[in-house]
Amino acid sequence: MHASKSAAGQKPGACVQEIFKDPVVAADGFTYSRAAIGKWLEDGHDTSPMNNLPLDHKYVCPNMAVRREALEWMKADYRNVSYPDGYDPSSFDGLPPQVGEHDAVM
């Protein structure tokens, strides 16, 4: 499971070799890291970073299926993974974050 993350000059949909820390689904149906799509929307964009079509809304929903899959993959081979800054896989309990059904980015 690799995250889509916003870096200087990159859209949140750009592929990078990093594990999803907090995957969410946006109105376009694509999965992004919460931080990347949040930055995209906070910067004033109202379109999908993947296809440039207008977004129906700016809410995101946790993607628990991708999160579970990433967790299983990390548990299987966590020694050979590049983790996001500050992430300690040995302390991971596998529980989802405490969030509402839908989380507003803005």
Is pLDDT of 99 > 50?
no
Rg of the chain's alpha carbons, rounded to an integer? Answer: 14
Position 9 in a domain: yes
Looking at the DSSP assignment, which residues form a beta bridge with residue 25?
Answer: 31, 61
Position 17 in a domain: yes
Euclidean distance between CA atoms 21 and 19, whole angstroms? 6
Position 50 in a domain: yes
Position 47 in a domain: yes
Report strand pairing: 2-4 vs 15-19: antiparallel
Mean pLDDT of 65-92: 70
pLDDT above 70 as % of the chain: 54
Domain that holds residue 65: 2-77
Q: What is the CATH number of the domain that holds 67?
A: 3.30.40.10
Euclidean distance between CA atoms 6 and 8, whole angstroms? 7
pLDDT above 90 as % of the chain: 41
Position 96 in a domain: no
Q: Where are the beta strands (DSSP E) in the chain?
A: 2-4, 15-19, 23-25, 31-33, 59-62, 103-104
pLDDT digits (tens, 9 = 90+) for 51-65: 999 999 999 999 999
Position 85 in a domain: no
Position 7 in a domain: yes
Number of domains composing the chain: 1
